[in-house]
Structure 1
Amino acid sequence: MANRPRGGWDSTTQTAPPITVEVPVLGIGAGPSYYEELARYVFALRRPRGLHMTLLHLGVLEDFCRDVAAWTKGNTSAESAQLRTVAWLEALPVLEAFSGSAERLIVLGSGGVCGLEVDVPASARDYQVSLVHALHELLDELLVDNIDDFILSSPALGFRSPRWVPHVAVGRPMYRGHGPWEIGRVGVDFGESRIRNRQFLRDSGPG
C-alpha cells in the first residue's frame, strides 16, 4: 500500500477520493426553479446533478486501513484491512429509491456548508442504522477494540457525532453564522443507494 500524506480528494494531484455510501438526489420540488430559489440563502449553489445525501462516510480507503492498523498495533495489517473492507463494501445491500421532504436550510459543521435538512422515511433511517451496525461488525472482524472510540477518533472516518442528521449539502451559506432558514415544504426524490467513487475500490489492491 503506498505511503502518502493524509487528506481528502485533490483533483489536481489525483490522490484517492473518499469512499461514501450515498443516495443521489433525483429531484427537488416540482421543477428546477424550486432549487434555484435557494440561491437567496446560498453562495455558489451546487449543481443539481451532483446533489446527494451521505448515509455513511468511510473516508479515503488507505487512510481508514492505516487507522485500523495503528489502532490494532499491527495485529491487523493495512493490507488485510483493505481486502476485507473492499469485500464488505461490495457486499452491502442496496437501499431502494425513496422520497422525502425538506422545510428548512441548516448550517452544517463549522458553518461553512449549508444544507437542506431532509425528513426521510423510516426505511431510510433503518438502512442508515444498519450501515453503522455493519461497520461495527466489520471493525470487530478487523480486531478493533473499543469500537465506538475508534469510530469517533479515526481521522479517516471523520465522525463528529453519533447522531445522523439527514441532509443534502447545497453550498456555502450566504449569511455565515446564521440559520436555520424556513423555505416552505418541498419534496425531495432520491435514487437507490450507491458507493461513491466505487471505481477506486477496484484500483486499490495492495501495492
Structure 2
Amino acid sequence: MTASDRTPGKPEEPRVTVEVPVLRIGAGLDDYEGLSRFVVSLRKPQGLHMTLLHVGILDHLVADIEAWTKGRSTPERVLPEIVSWLTELPVLEGFLGKSDRLVPLGGGRLMGLEVDVPQEVHDYQALLVQGLHVLLDDLGLDNIDDFILSSHALGYRSPRWLPHIAVGKAQSRQQGATELAPVAIEFGDSRIRHRESLPAQ
C-alpha cells in the first residue's frame, strides 16, 4: 500500500505511539479547566498524554519502508521486526514536569502546554530515536534521516523534539503563544498507545 492507495472515508487503523500519560496537572481539575479561556474544545483530562515517539499506522509505515527500499524490505519481514522492537522497549518511569506556556501546534490548528521535563526524559526520547535508526538500518534503509523526515506514517515535521501536551483547538490560526502561571504536571510510566492492536508475535 502506498499513500495514494489509502481509501478516503475508510476507517483508519490505530496510530501507534510511545507516550507517557498525564496523571495530574496542577492541584487538580480546576487548574486544567482554566485553560478553556485560551482554547476551543478542551480535551478530556483522562486522555491527556505526551508523545515521545510517533510511529503511526503500522501498515502505512511498512508501505513507506517498502517503497523507500524499492521492494527489498518486504512487509512479511518488516512488520514483525517493528512489532518486536516496540514491545521490547524499556519503560521510562513516571516523572514530574512543569509548564508555564501554551503554544500553537500542528501549523496553528491546536494548542498545547509546552513542558519542561527532566534530562532523563530527553535522554529516553533520544534513545527511542537512536533505536529507530538502528531498526531502519537493520531493515535495509539508506539515508535514514531523510526517510524519517519524509515518511507520512512517522509524521515528523522537525528533527527537534518539543515536549508538549495537546489540550485543544486554537481559537484562531493567528493565535500565538501565551504565558501562564507555572503549573506542575505529573506523568505516569511510558507505554505503547494501542499496544493491543499490535500483531501477535
TM-score class, shorter: over 0.9
Following the alignment from structure 1 to structure 2, what is the Cα–Cα distance between the partners of residues 64 and 146? 16
- AA at the equivalent of 1:195: I
Match of 1:66 in 2: 63
Show CA shifts across 1:9-55 (max 9, x none).
x8xx5431111000000000011100000000010100000000000
Identity %: 54
Following the alignment from structure 1 to structure 2, what is the Cα–Cα distance between the partners of residues 7 and 167? 31
Which of 36, 42, 56 aligns to 2:33? It is 36
Following the alignment from structure 1 to structure 2, what is the Cα–Cα distance between the partners of residues 15 and 181? 34
Show CA shifts across 1:52-96 (max 9, x none).
000000110000011111111111102211010000001000000
Show CA shifts across 1:102-153 (max 9, x none).
0010001211010000000001010000000000000000000000010011
Match of 1:89 in 2: 86
Q: CA RMSD in A?
A: 2.0
Is the aligned partner of 1:6 residue 2:6?
yes
* Runs of 5+ consecutive residues of structure 1 not aligned to the other structure: none
TM-score with structure 2 setting the length = 0.94
**1:202 aligned counterpart, secondary structure:** coil
- AA at the equivalent of 2:143: N
Superposition deviation, residue 170 in structure 1: 0.2
Match of 2:190 in 1: 193
Misfit runs of 4+, over 2 Å:
3-8
- AA at the equivalent of 2:118: P
Match of 2:160 in 1: 163
Superposition map of 1:171-186 within 5 A: 171-186=168-183
Contact 1:112 1:173 (C-alpha < 8 Å) held by counterparts: yes
**2:19 aligned counterpart, secondary structure:** strand
* Runs of 5+ consecutive residues of structure 2 not aligned to the other structure: none
Following the alignment from structure 1 to structure 2, what is the Cα–Cα distance between the partners of residues 4 and 60? 15
**2:162 aligned counterpart, secondary structure:** coil
Following the alignment from structure 1 to structure 2, what is the Cα–Cα distance between the partners of residues 19 and 6? 17
Superposition map of 1:136-147 within 5 A: 136-147=133-144
**1:152 aligned counterpart, secondary structure:** helix
Superposition map of 1:116-155 within 5 A: 116-155=113-152
Following the alignment from structure 1 to structure 2, what is the Cα–Cα distance between the partners of residues 97 and 147? 30
Aligned pairs, number: 200
